[in-house]
A and B are shown apart, each in its own frame.
Chain A
Amino acid sequence: NAGVTQTPKFQVLKTGQSMTLQCAQDMNHNSMYWYRQDPGMGLRLIYYSASEGTTDKGEVPNGYNVSRLNKREFSLRLESAAPSQTSVYFCASTRLAGTPGTGELFFGEGSRLTVL
């Protein structure tokens, strides 16, 4: 049981390049999330998808787009990367959308992105 799988684990980009971070979960979860984590800080929500076919902005969505490809997969795209987007990106999922307080988050191992 793989849980939440993110690819790639490491990526170096030049300013202005584009790339897509892929995330897949095999737990039949409805809700999926993308967070970023900067050094010494907590996680900040970029986008989330409460269920297949829906996406919503989180705290820091500017410069990013997302696609919920199907129930398993949720991708994060940087159209024109900037140095400020250098960060570690985490994908997460939870069992049921809108559960009343249970529904723990399961995280991937992270994708470390450097933009030069």
Chain B
Amino acid sequence: DAKTTQPNSMESNEEEPVHLPCNHSTISGTDYIHWYRQLPSQGPEYVIHGLTSNVNNRMASLAIAEDRKSSTLILHRATLRDAAVYYCILRVPYGQNFVFGPGTRLSVLP
């Protein structure tokens, strides 16, 4: 399975945008990019996913590089509730395994 690399931790101020990077230089042409987040003492929850084009939903935006070797999760206005560990994972088509790395721990400062 192709691997992803994320910074261990990031900080943001409340109500400011946050850009969470993910490198996946060995991604194959058919791998989907998924993002999940895990709030303290909870199970992970789905945030967003994409293949080639940028994607928006009510939680966040996903910007995918043209060569697909990296992507960025964008939280447009961070709130204290967005403090969590964010995981970038690659989903092999028709595969069953979601491989989670250590993720990025986001701290949001009031």
Contact = CB atoms under 8 A, between A and B. Distances in A.
A44 B103 CA distance: 13
A74 interface: no
B32 A101 contact: yes
Given A101-B51, A104-B46, A42 B87 contact: yes
Interface in B11-42: 30-32, 34, 36, 41-42
Q: How big is the B interface, by class?
A: 20 to 34
Majority-rule SS of B interface residues: loop
A56 interface: yes
Interface of A: 4, 31, 33, 35, 40-45, 48, 50, 56, 58-59, 90, 92, 97-110
Given A59-B99, A101-B32, A109-B43, 6 more contacts: A101-B49, A104-B46, A105-B36, A105-B44, A107-B43, A107-B45
10 contacts: A31-B96, A35-B100, A45-B99, A97-B96, A100-B94, A101-B31, A101-B91, A103-B91, A105-B46, A107-B45
